[in-house]
Chains A and B, each alone.
Chain A
């Protein structure tokens, strides 16, 4: 492993053109300028500076670096690094608003009575004076609360700092009870950034450092770092990790290794849509500004409407962002086209459409019932309305209501689609050295960076809509840690890093070769599920787990029960029976539809499900109405299981489960009803050395 890494670190893989020798930072200015169409992968050790105004085209002479970003301090006793001072006032403001809101909500009535009490007490004096006193008291309370909060934040700020030690990252916190978190560099999984809208305005962000993952290992959160500081931190962490992985002496970590110790990423020959990889950008010029500010590089794929505002964000950066720091060389980058962005926005809330349709159905039913009941109300006015409503005008009224409802829900849906678009605005996925970075979000900014070593799997997912359009969602499985105090993470996206939300299936290989060339050479000889799996699948999915079947059963039980009840207990209610049967008929029809959907899904599942293995990878496809293909390296399989139940033993099939460490606490990739022989061969393949024998 050490050999492998050092090879990568110092550039000598056979596939690459000879890389330039690693140069120390000070010689930087001489290294780059005229290299324009030169062989791309110069080691770019010096690229620690981004000159802020570099949106112009590439071959222009490189601006001399205006101010050298001091590389993180030399080894030895590391200086304490405090977070940005906006922690005090921005964090304080946020906490203050939250506290005041809580107080206002919980103590609203008592405040009101207090005010009235003051008014009564001062009633003799003057009404205006009472109000004045009330306002003064409220303002005084407000100031006091805010002062306390700011004081607490100030104390917390004074006691919050981090150090990049020789072997581990340390985060110190706590005013009274001191806390120190150690993170060995080797254990760092990923370093993510997040910024709310307010934080973006001020150019600060929250950094979370993921460690080994699992439910017991919370992510380490460093709040309110200036953008620049965050990027330096990220680069420093990864560089040190690499240095240690390559067998470097922890004490002798060279400062410039932040830039230099990063391996030269493999050049990607067949990457048409990689503005960052074009040789047009001199290697040392800092690929970051070029890529960020000019995603519309000639010959690259067109960007989308939201790239511009996102680019503006990147240029402006926010009040305290500082000059951007180059954290490595980008070899591949892409954004979304207009079409992809729109489709992402509109297809990511299909659930919303379903809800609307369901509500419409319910309202329709309710209206029916209402109109049934009303004639008996005996109220003249209502009768008049009803007769009007059931007359020729009724159609008009109902239509208006209906149209208003449809219109309203359409607007809501559009808004949610727009929100979804905005959250994917400025989407960029890029390969920087050995890391994969994804950023998105126009308002709430999110930046996720994961080291390629920590990528567990490549997942290609096709929901119903995407499948109809021949598109898919590509994501990477990664190990996740539970973030400290961050409970609003949606569990659906846990352990998954979306690298493209909506892409034509034909473009997927391009993206994968560009972004994760490590995942080339995926297996192709698919072993389909056993023929008997169709029968077993139909029984399983249409009966045991069949929503349609069970719905029909429930409806049947209700129908029979109600019939019996009416027949025995209340024969005079027999008039309701036809309605009951009608309702049940609707239920049966719905169940039938569900059943057909289940059956179609099963047949599709049978046709498309398979697994494939080769020396390095395993690939599992699970078909159906929505389809998912997971590819993962053999090395990432923690353990494998085959499982059989008595019926499977009879049918001579087995269920395969491969477990990887993705997500919190692991992910199981399962394929049901593989033929017995295939399962046996797979187990043999799983054993160490078993892949070579094949």
Chain B
């Protein structure tokens, strides 16, 4: 495909992803593991142990995948570019997508900060059009504010019609 957009996300986003995914995986893991664990304690049977082992292995694999393998690739593939007139996003590992969002179609922009992101000093910007929204997950707080302001200004200049 064409040359990729120039900007990358803030490198700290990798850690945000890692923590986020690790928490989710841990929660799901506990939900699966605890009932079987209790059952094993009450009545130890070989097949229960097998199940427990399977869950633990799956947990480990997922953890490695989402904490070690995926974040750098995701980070590599996530690119965006802010031209004065449009937002260009390229992302996706297997299904690679390329979005062109003219700012004059943008209806509103939001910045959002979860607790993890706040800890890293990051912020995510959501750009909404009349037919769907796009999120740029990891931006420096200052960059996010700038992007939001620019989009808002261009959206104001846009035609009223949808």
Q: Which residues of A contact B (CB under 8 A)?
A: 1, 186, 212-214, 245, 453-454, 456, 479, 635-646, 649, 654, 659-661, 665-667, 676, 679-680, 683-684, 686-689
When C-beta atoms are compared, the residue in chain A nearest to B103 turns out to be: A688
A635 touches B98 (CB 8 A): no
Inter-chain CA distance A665–B83, complex, in Å, is 26
A659: chain B residues within 8 A (beta carbon): 129, 131-132
Inter-chain CA distance A492–B99, complex, in Å, is 28
Cβ of B31 within 8 Å of any chain A Cβ, yes or no, is no
Inter-chain CA distance A646–B130, complex, in Å, is 30
B97 touches A661 (CB 8 A): no
B98 touches A641 (CB 8 A): yes
Partner of A666, one of B130, B134, B159: B130
A666 touches B100 (CB 8 A): no
B131 touches A661 (CB 8 A): yes
A687 touches B96 (CB 8 A): no
Interface size on B, residues (CB 8 A): 27
Inter-chain CA distance A479–B162, complex, in Å, is 9
A688 touches B1 (CB 8 A): no
Inter-chain CA distance A442–B27, complex, in Å, is 59
B130 touches A638 (CB 8 A): yes
Inter-chain CA distance A456–B132, complex, in Å, is 16
Cβ of B45 within 8 Å of any chain A Cβ, yes or no, is no
A676 touches B132 (CB 8 A): no
Interface residues of B in 57-113 (CB under 8 A from A): 83, 85-86, 92, 94-105
B2 touches A680 (CB 8 A): yes
A638 touches B100 (CB 8 A): no
A667 touches B1 (CB 8 A): no
A639 touches B129 (CB 8 A): yes
Inter-chain CA distance A679–B98, complex, in Å, is 11
Partner of B98, one of A245, A642, A660, A661: A642
Given contacts A641-B99, A683-B100, contact A635 B132 (CB under 8 A): no
B92: chain A residues within 8 A (beta carbon): 643
CB distance from B151 to the nearest CB of A (A): 13
Cβ of B160 within 8 Å of any chain A Cβ, yes or no, is yes
Inter-chain CA distance A479–B129, complex, in Å, is 14
Interface residues of B in 130-154 (CB under 8 A from A): 130-132, 134
A635: chain B residues within 8 A (beta carbon): 159, 161
A640: chain B residues within 8 A (beta carbon): 99-100
Inter-chain CA distance A645–B95, complex, in Å, is 5
When C-beta atoms are compared, the residue in chain B nearest to A676 turns out to be: B1
A1 touches B160 (CB 8 A): yes
B159: chain A residues within 8 A (beta carbon): 1, 635
21 A-B interface contacts by CB (under 8 A):
A638-B129, A638-B132, A639-B101, A639-B102, A643-B97, A644-B95, A644-B96, A645-B95, A659-B132, A660-B131, A661-B131, A661-B162, A666-B130, A676-B1, A683-B2, A683-B98, A686-B102, A687-B83, A687-B100, A687-B102, A688-B104
A680 touches B1 (CB 8 A): yes
By Cβ-Cβ distance, the 8 closest A-B pairs, closest first, are: A666-B131, A661-B130, A688-B85, A638-B129, A638-B131, A639-B101, A661-B131, A686-B100
Given contacts A687-B85, A688-B86, contact A245 B130 (CB under 8 A): no
Inter-chain CA distance A684–B160, complex, in Å, is 24
B129: chain A residues within 8 A (beta carbon): 638-639, 659, 661
Inter-chain CA distance A214–B131, complex, in Å, is 8
* Most central of A214, A641, A654 by chain B CB within 10 Å: A641
Inter-chain CA distance A688–B87, complex, in Å, is 10
Write the B4-23 contact mask toward A (1 if CB under 8 angstroms, else 0): 00000000000000000000
Inter-chain CA distance A660–B131, complex, in Å, is 6
B86 touches A687 (CB 8 A): yes
Given contacts A649-B96, A661-B162, A676-B1, contact A688 B131 (CB under 8 A): no
B130: chain A residues within 8 A (beta carbon): 212-214, 479, 638, 661, 666
Inter-chain CA distance A211–B162, complex, in Å, is 11
When C-beta atoms are compared, the residue in chain B nearest to A1 turns out to be: B159
When C-beta atoms are compared, the residue in chain A nearest to B104 turns out to be: A688
Inter-chain CA distance A683–B81, complex, in Å, is 14
B86: chain A residues within 8 A (beta carbon): 687-688
Partner of B131, one of A643, A665, A683, A687: A665
B160 touches A245 (CB 8 A): yes
CB distance from A215 to the nearest CB of B (A): 12
Partner of B94, one of A641, A646, A679, A684: A646
B2 touches A639 (CB 8 A): no
Inter-chain CA distance A684–B3, complex, in Å, is 12
Inter-chain CA distance A660–B132, complex, in Å, is 9
B97: chain A residues within 8 A (beta carbon): 641-643
B131: chain A residues within 8 A (beta carbon): 638-639, 659-661, 665-667
When C-beta atoms are compared, the residue in chain A nearest to B92 turns out to be: A643
Given contacts A641-B97, A644-B96, A688-B85, contact A666 B160 (CB under 8 A): no
Inter-chain CA distance A680–B100, complex, in Å, is 12
A639 touches B96 (CB 8 A): no
Given contacts A638-B105, A642-B97, contact A186 B162 (CB under 8 A): no
Partner of B162, one of A1, A212, A649, A667: A212
Inter-chain CA distance A640–B87, complex, in Å, is 11
Partner of B161, one of A453, A667, A684: A453
When C-beta atoms are compared, the residue in chain A nearest to B84 turns out to be: A688
CB distance from A9 to the nearest CB of B (A): 15
Inter-chain CA distance A605–B105, complex, in Å, is 32
When C-beta atoms are compared, the residue in chain A nearest to B95 turns out to be: A645
CB distance from B28 to the nearest CB of A (A): 27
Inter-chain CA distance A646–B93, complex, in Å, is 9
B162 touches A639 (CB 8 A): no
B1: chain A residues within 8 A (beta carbon): 642, 644, 654, 676, 679-680
Inter-chain CA distance A662–B101, complex, in Å, is 17
A639: chain B residues within 8 A (beta carbon): 99-102, 105, 129, 131-132, 134
CB distance from A210 to the nearest CB of B (A): 12
* Most central of B92, B100, B104, B161 by chain A CB within 10 Å: B100
Inter-chain CA distance A67–B10, complex, in Å, is 71
CB distance from B46 to the nearest CB of A (A): 29
A454: chain B residues within 8 A (beta carbon): 161-162
When C-beta atoms are compared, the residue in chain A nearest to B90 turns out to be: A642
Inter-chain CA distance A644–B2, complex, in Å, is 12
CB distance from B131 to the nearest CB of A (A): 3
* Most central of A212, A661, A676 by chain B CB within 10 Å: A661
Partner of B96, one of A214, A638, A643, A661: A643
B2: chain A residues within 8 A (beta carbon): 680, 683-684
When C-beta atoms are compared, the residue in chain A nearest to B129 turns out to be: A638
When C-beta atoms are compared, the residue in chain B nearest to A214 turns out to be: B130
Inter-chain CA distance A281–B92, complex, in Å, is 61
B160: chain A residues within 8 A (beta carbon): 1, 186, 245
B100: chain A residues within 8 A (beta carbon): 639-641, 683, 686-687
